[in-house]
Structure 1
Amino acid sequence: MNTAPTPTPDVSIVVPIYNEVENLPDLVERIAQAMSAQPLSFELLAVDDGSRDGSADTLRELAATRPWLRPVFLARNYGQSSALQAGFDRVRGRYVVTLDADLQNEPGDIPLLLERLETDSSVDMVSGWRKDRQDAELSRKLPSRIANRLISSATGVHLHDYGCALKAYRRPIIDRIRLYGELHRFIPSLAKEAGARITEVPVRHHARTRGVSKYGIDRTFRVILDLILIVFFMRYRQRPLHAFGGLGLWLAAPGVLILAWLLLQKVVGEDIGGRPLLLAGVMLVLMGVQMVVAGLIGELLMRIYHEAGGAPQFHAQEYVPDSRVNMPAARDQQAQAATNNIA
């Protein structure tokens, strides 16, 4: 296959890179080999996320003889989500593929994912599943399994492997999502929110042989916090009053009942001034009111955001009749018009 760049390549491959200088030559070569085995044209967006090991210089050298390689250099280390978004902002293909630069993902599996998108119009995103993981450490396997089940249950997007970076998307899905913070872990959930139909296919996985893993135990706590954010985002982004107001009512209701009970006791002559129950009732009511007010403020902010032309509340596609189906009818109309002109 001719690997020269095209004005609009069929596939854009986005790879975030951070201190992977030892893997880059092999990575680029294996991606080129994988893409040469299939008919789609491609480009490789290698996003250097502020590496300090010479990865940027290596990318420049590789790009000098490979026109399809488009390095992108971030000013400093912003994190994987920002690196991916920098690549997404520059993609040109109708399909977008992501994978890590550590060669634990198998570049040879990229055509497998693309074939699924090409042959199955009911799928918008294909997520890789490292069915036979080669991580030697149980400390990585066990938390990953727990996280996959927790995220699947909380978001409603049931996947075996959220952590697999090898994924393929139709371009409109990528155009609808924005990554920031550390939301790269939840791209399937964001894609579902954007209307994507998702499937999962087993892919190969390799143990890391060069470089150093960038993940630590602290990632577990960040995943939990980000999961709270993504669940809130998916369920209550456009109706914050339902989240804050609902919690506020649950807090205020027992507070009101407590105060009503104490009022009744006061009426019958009992002293309630020094009772801790009075303080608990007042605090519950105040906290409930604060939550409801926070929900109302959130609703006002959402109204301002949408009326000012913010992100769309929904994504829609209008039916367009197939021009090839309508060609005979169009020719009949043209022939009738020509007959009328002659007459």
Structure 2
Amino acid sequence: MAQIPDILQASIAAGSIELSLVVPVFNEEESVGLLIDRICEAMDGYEKSWELILVDDGSTDRTLPNARKYLDRPGLELIVVELQRNFGQTAAMQAGIDMASGRLIATLDGDLQNDPRDIRAMAAALDERQLDLLVGWRKDRKDDLLLRKIPSWCANALIGRITGVKLHDYGCSLKIYRSSIIKQVKLMGEMHRFIPAWVAGVVPSSRIGEMVVTHHPRAHGASKYGISRTFRVILDLLSVLFFMRYKARPGHFFGSIGLGTGALSALILAYLFIDKFMFGNDIGARPALIVGVMLFLSSVQLITTGILSEMIARTYYRDDETPNYIVRETFRPKG
């Protein structure tokens, strides 16, 4: 697990910022200004301190300069983080979370489909229900049925069954976290869809809840996702399952399969040994001999892989601070 930097621990303890809003954006030049306006409108009258962190994930249009125009907007504590290239939504989200100093952290998409007006209610519900993570549920989702809704329904059911965290909508980016919890989780690859599963690795699933939120149809730009996302979700889900159960002990995963394969090999070879030396039958051309030998070799390889995985895991836990993104520049209000 990633460690919380000392400077952020001090900031959180001091309570200088109550709520940090983290928004990854990529090629959203038409909507980024409207996004900031809507967030400011939604947070108008909020009695506690808050900040907005926009992470530009290597946009190739005018998203970054359009966002920087709002740096000196009165009453807005805006931080714009420019990543060196496009690292993906997960890395951009991790960069924003690392930068955030609020007691609570909210994440949402930058395409205006999430409604910022839900944030304050979710923040209040998180404390009221004594949760560590509150996930938005797009119950009335405004997306294409075939390309987005059906694959999402299937993925949510599969994820819930495998991970044990029962939610209606894993893919909703609108979430509220306790900063002290989410900063213990290091997001990798394209694992933002499985954040509740990662959080369940550090807190009981009973402290993870959901809340119905508003969802708007996309008004500007084009979706960055297609039907191919479904296949990536399946592969990522297998990785999540492995990390949740065997991250600290990968040798048990490979070793169990290796021992099972070795036991089957031993049974086949023992049968052939008895058939050869007790009954005098020729076994040299029998397929069972080849299968038994191949299973034995596979068993040795799997057990060896398990040992190597244990060594790599121990190295990983000693060096778990390498970020999965590179910040080119950070922009803050002048003065």
In the TM superposition, what is the alpha-carbon distance from 1:271 to its structure 2 partner? 0.4
User: What is the aligned partner in structure 2 of residue 108 from structure 1?
Assistant: 117
Instruction: Give the equivalent residue in structure 2 for 1:59.
Output: 67
Report the counterpart of residue 313 of structure 2 in structure 1: 302
Counterpart of 2:280? 269
2 CA distance for matches of 1:170 and 1:124? 5
Q: Does 1:231 align with 2:241?
A: yes
Matching residue of 2:300: 289
Deviation track 1:288-327 (CA, whole Å, cap 9, x = no partner) reads 1211121122223334554x4758xxxxxxxxxxxxxxxx
1:69 corresponds to: 78
Q: Which residue is 2:52 aligned to?
A: 44
Taking structure 1 as the reference length, the TM-score comes to 0.85
Q: Shift of residue 191 of structure 1? A: 0.8
Further displaced range: 167-176 or 64-73: 64-73
Unpaired runs of 5+ residues, structure 2, are 1-13, 322-335
Partner of 2:193: 185
Aligned 8 A contact 2:148 2:226 in 1: no
- Counterpart position of 1:220: 230
In the other structure, the counterpart of 2:94 is 85
Whole-angstrom CA distance in 2 between matches of 1:68 and 1:137:
38
Unmatched runs of 5 consecutive residues or more in structure 1: 1-5, 312-343
Is contact 2:147–2:226 with CA below 8 Å preserved after alignment? Answer: no
The 3 A distance-change label for structure 1 pair 283 and 126 is same
CA distance 1:50–1:128, shift in 2 (3 Å): same
Q: Specify the code of the residue in structure 1 equivalent to 2:240.
A: I
- Residue type matched to 1:49 in 2? D
Match of 1:199 in 2: 209
- Report the residue type matching 1:192 in the other structure: A
Deviation of 1:242 after TM superposition, in Å, equals 1.5
Closer, same or farther: CA 129–252 of 1 in aligned 2, 3 Å: same
1:308-319 equivalences in 2 (<5 Å)? 308=318
Aligned counterpart, 2:255: 245
Instruction: Tell me the distance in 2 between the aligned counterparts of 1:155 and 1:167.
Output: 18
3-state secondary structure, aligned to 2:151: helix
Deviations 1:66-108 (A, max 9, x none): 5411111111111001101111111010000000011111110
- The correspondence of residues 10-21 of structure 1 with structure 2, limited to 5 A, is 10-21=18-29
SS in 2 for 1:107: coil
**Pair 1:25 & 2:36 matched:** no
- Please say which structure displays the higher CA radius of gyration: 1
Q: Identify which range, 251-260 or 59-68, moves more after superposition.
A: 59-68
CA distance in 1, matches of 2:316, 2:137: 37
1:163 aligned to 2:171? yes
CA distance in 2: counterparts of 1:176 and 1:211, whole angstroms:
34
Q: Write out aligned runs for 1:130-169 (5 A).
A: 130-169=138-177
CA distances 1:260-313 after superposition (whole Å, capped 9, x unpaired): 11101101210000111100011011101211121122223334554x4758xx
- TM-score, normalised to structure 2, is 0.87
Report the CA distance between 1:189 and its aligned residue: 0.7
Partners of 1:81 and 1:229 lie apart in 2 by: 15
Which residue is equivalent to 1:128?
Answer: 136
RMSD: 1.7
Alpha-carbon contact 2:15-2:103 (below 8 Å) kept: no
Q: Does 1:94 align with 2:103?
A: yes
For 1:8 and 1:303, how far apart are their aligned partners in 2? 37
Q: Take 1:216 and 1:275, find their aligned partners in 2: how far apart are those partners?
A: 49
User: Once structures 1 and 2 are overlaid, which stretch shifts more, 245-254 or 32-41?
Assistant: 32-41
Q: Secondary structure at the match of 1:63?
A: coil
Tell me, in whole angstroms, the C-alpha distance in 2 between the residues paired with 1:180 and 1:302: 15
Q: Give distance in 2, aligned partners of 1:98 and 1:161.
A: 15
Distance 1:207 1:137 in 2: 12
Distance 1:310 1:23, change over 3 A: closer
**How far did residue 118 of structure 1 move?**
2.7
Q: How many Å separate the matches in 2 of 1:302 and 1:77?
A: 28
Deviations 1:210-269 (A, max 9, x none): 111000122111111111111000001111121001111221221111111110110121
Match of 1:117 among 101, 118, 126: 126
Residues 305, 71 of structure 1: CA spacing in aligned structure 2 closer, same or farther, 3 A cutoff? closer
SS of the aligned residue for 2:70 comes to helix
Q: Which residue of 2 aligns with 1:340?
A: none
